[in-house]
């Protein structure tokens, strides 16, 4: 019956029950997926994969899935790092890659409307041709897509200037689990009740399927300038960053590398003092404004004891910013496993969170290196990157879990939040209740109203485990 109905909805060519296709669509870019692939282990498979072409088709599919109580896992680029699209309870993967069109570009309002399945780089190149940028360029740009950006509440590498996906998304079309196609109007602002877009931005497929979005656009900057400064420690680097924002300067890129990450990422290309911290800055905009912003920022850095490295390290990072997303023989060898906990805190807590997390993570035989990126006026994110190498798979996974458990606990204890942009998926699902505290009940209530049968992406975001 399922096959017959799906054939009516999407056509026989656009769904598959073949094991090979289910296998090839099963994984994302999470360390769990990658480690299982390396070890030749099986990942959880969906029972079928469906490739819809429109919101109308998705509406019919969700009605059908609701009737059959079939789990539905929306899939975008499959490039997530948290297992958000893993079909842990089987069911149907709803793959949006056929919905890949740019519907229109509005030059007057500087907005673009696109379908959710468009790959990030395809969207960016399309608007670039018209002289715009979306301002949203995460490292996964070549692999992830628009729906995934929104569903995971992602942030690009230039979020300090252009904003995060929740700032960039003006309008949204979502198919909710009962099959209704809802629109959140594309307006720059509204005071008509709570902003319902934000219910779905970051919902990770647990509340519905994002099918289209209207995004802000920005003119491609006349100039992008780079500047790099090194500091004697994390504290002085963070102080400089705070002061730059306080002066009303918004660099497009702000990245402060701690001593370990500076040694790892910079020392083979530039002469850096041991124990120093490198700050990378970029400035976008009109040439005269960029020159002024750069001067103000540089003066602040020098006043805080920074050592000027010119454009070199920052420009090099920019030119190689996608390289770290590729696997290497080191990261795919034996029983080594690495991951990133991308936490956020306000400035008053940021250093405490950093030191506390680093201490507990290192206590589990992990190499920890970090950079402070995605910085804002009131605080910012830390990429707590760790690697551990163990003698066998079991020890590697046990260590990995301890690092995560203790790392997140330290983050929450010191007042941080456990993710800036990667989302929750399966990796952070069990920590969600602790993170959200009393407000978790509100999220659960929303879920129970929108998805009473719990079909949408069960097991993610701490929600919707099938009974």
Which residues are near another protein by CB under 8 A? 18-21, 23-25, 28-29, 34, 37-38, 40-42, 49, 51, 77-79, 95, 97-98, 100, 117, 119, 121-122, 125, 140, 142-143, 322-323, 325-329, 331-332
Q: How far is the CB of 456 from another protein (least distance, A)?
A: 21
Between residues 270 and 325, which has the closer beta carbon with respect to another protein? 325
Q: How far is the CB of 324 from another protein (least distance, A)?
A: 10
Between residues 264 and 291, which has the closer beta carbon with respect to another protein? 264
Q: How is the beta sheet containing 48-50 ordered, strand by strand?
A: 15-16, 48-50, 92-95, 72-75
Using CA atoms, how far apart are residues 65 and 456, in angstroms rounded to an integer?
9
Please give the sequence-ordered ranges of beta strands (E in DSSP) within 360-455, or none if there are none: 367-375, 379-389
Using CA atoms, how far apart are residues 240 and 297, in angstroms rounded to an integer?
8
Q: How many whole angstroms from its chain centre is CA 25?
A: 20
Q: How far is the CB of 333 from another protein (least distance, A)?
A: 9
Between residues 12 and 286, which has the closer beta carbon with respect to another protein? 12
Between residues 36 and 444, which has the closer beta carbon with respect to another protein? 36
DSSP per position, 76-120:
SSS--SS-TT--TT-SEEEE-TT---EEEEETTTTEEEEETTSBH
Between residues 105 and 186, which has the closer beta carbon with respect to another protein? 105
Using CA atoms, how far apart are residues 12 and 156, in angstroms rounded to an integer?
37
Q: With contact defined as beta carbons under 8 Å apart, do 76 and 145 qualify? A: yes
Using CA atoms, how far apart are residues 297 and 323, in angstroms rounded to an integer?
27
DSSP H helix total and E strand total for the chain: 17, 18
Do the strands 72-75 and 92-95 form a parallel or antiparallel pair, or are they unpaired?
parallel
Between residues 24 and 449, which has the closer beta carbon with respect to another protein? 24
Between residues 31 and 380, which has the closer beta carbon with respect to another protein? 31
Contacts 24+ apart (CB under 8 A), 2-7: 2/48, 2/64, 2/68, 2/70, 5/64, 6/48, 6/50, 6/61, 6/64
Q: How far is the CB of 160 from another protein (least distance, A)?
A: 24
Between residues 95 and 293, which has the closer beta carbon with respect to another protein? 95
Q: How far is the CB of 145 from another protein (least distance, A)?
A: 10
- Please list, residue by residue across 210-242, b when 16 or more beta carbons sit within 10 angstroms of its beta carbon and e when fewer do: bbbbbbbbbeebeebbbbbbbbbebebbbbbbb
Please give the sequence-ordered ranges of beta strands (E in DSSP) within 304-378, or none if there are none: 307-310, 336-346, 367-375
Do the strands 253-257 and 181-184 form a parallel or antiparallel pair, or are they unpaired?
unpaired
Q: How far is the CB of 426 from another protein (least distance, A)?
A: 16
Between residues 335 and 376, which has the closer beta carbon with respect to another protein? 335
Between residues 320 and 355, which has the closer beta carbon with respect to another protein? 320
Using CA atoms, how far apart are residues 75 and 23, in angstroms rounded to an integer?
14
Q: How many whole angstroms from its chain centre is CA 201?
A: 12
Between residues 95 and 294, which has the closer beta carbon with respect to another protein? 95
Q: How far is the CB of 433 from another protein (least distance, A)?
A: 29
Rg (CA), the chain: 22
Q: How far is the CB of 414 from another protein (least distance, A)?
A: 31
Using CA atoms, how far apart are residues 87 and 459, in angstroms rounded to an integer?
9
Q: How far is the CB of 436 from another protein (least distance, A)?
A: 28
Q: How far is the CB of 313 from another protein (least distance, A)?
A: 20
Q: How far is the CB of 142 from another protein (least distance, A)?
A: 5
H/E stretch holding 175: strand 169-175
């Amino acid at each position: 019956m399922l096959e017959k109905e799906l054939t009516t909805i999407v056509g026989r060519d656009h769904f598959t029950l073949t094991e090979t296709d289910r296998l090839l669509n099963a994984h994302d870019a999470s360390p769990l997926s990658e480690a299982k692939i390396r070890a030749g282990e099986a990942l959880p498979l969906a029972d079928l994969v469906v490739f819809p072409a429109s919101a109308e088709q998705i509406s019919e599919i969700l009605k059908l899935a609701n009737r059959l109580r079939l789990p539905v896992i929306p899939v975008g680029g499959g490039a997530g790092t948290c297992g958000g699209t893993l079909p842990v309870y089987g069911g149907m993967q709803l793959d949006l890659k056929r919905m890949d069109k740019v519907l229109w570009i509005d030059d007057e309002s500087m907005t673009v409307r696109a379908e959710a399945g468009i790959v990030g780089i395809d969207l960016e190149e399309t608007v670039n041709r018209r002289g715009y940028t979306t301002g949203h360029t995460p490292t996964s740009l070549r692999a992830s897509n628009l729906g995934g950006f929104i569903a995971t509440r992602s942030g690009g590498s230039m979020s300090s200037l252009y904003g995060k996906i929740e700032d960039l998304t003006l309008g949204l079309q979502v198919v909710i689990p009962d099959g209704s196609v809802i629109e959140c109007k594309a307006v720059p602002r509204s005071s008509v009740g709570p902003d319902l877009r934000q219910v779905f931005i970051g919902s990770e497929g647990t509340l519905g399927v994002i099918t289209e979005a209207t995004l802000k656009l920005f003119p491609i900057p006349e100039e992008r300038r780079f500047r790099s400064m090194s500091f004697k420690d994390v504290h002085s680097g963070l102080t400089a960053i705070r002061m730059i924002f306080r002066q009303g300067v918004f660099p497009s890129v702000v990245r402060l590398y701690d001593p370990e990450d500076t040694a790892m990422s910079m020392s083979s290309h530039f002469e850096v003092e041991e124990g120093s911290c490198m700050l990378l800055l970029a400035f976008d905009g009109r040439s005269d404004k960029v020159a002024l912003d750069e001067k103000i920022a540089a003066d602040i850095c020098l006043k805080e004891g920074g050592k000027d490295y010119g454009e070199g390290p920052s420009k090099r990072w920019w030119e190689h910013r996608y390289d770290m997303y590729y696997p290497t023989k080191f990261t795919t060898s034996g029983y080594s496993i690495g991951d990133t906990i991308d936490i956020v805190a306000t400035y008053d807590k940021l250093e405490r969170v950093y030191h506390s997390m680093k201490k507990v993570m290192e206590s589990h035989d992990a190499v920890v290196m970090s950079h402070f990126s995605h910085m804002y006026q009131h605080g910012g994110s830390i990429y707590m990157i760790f690697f551990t190498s163990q003698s066998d798979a079991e020890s590697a996974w046990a260590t990995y879990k301890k690092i995560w458990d203790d790392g997140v606990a330290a983050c929450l204890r010191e007042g941080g939040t456990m993710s800036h942009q990667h989302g929750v998926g399966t990796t952070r699902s069990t920590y969600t209740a602790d993170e959200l505290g009393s407000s978790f009940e509100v999220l659960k209530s929303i879920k129970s109203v929108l998805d009473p049968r719990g079909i949408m992406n069960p097991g993610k975001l701490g929600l919707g485990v099938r009974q």
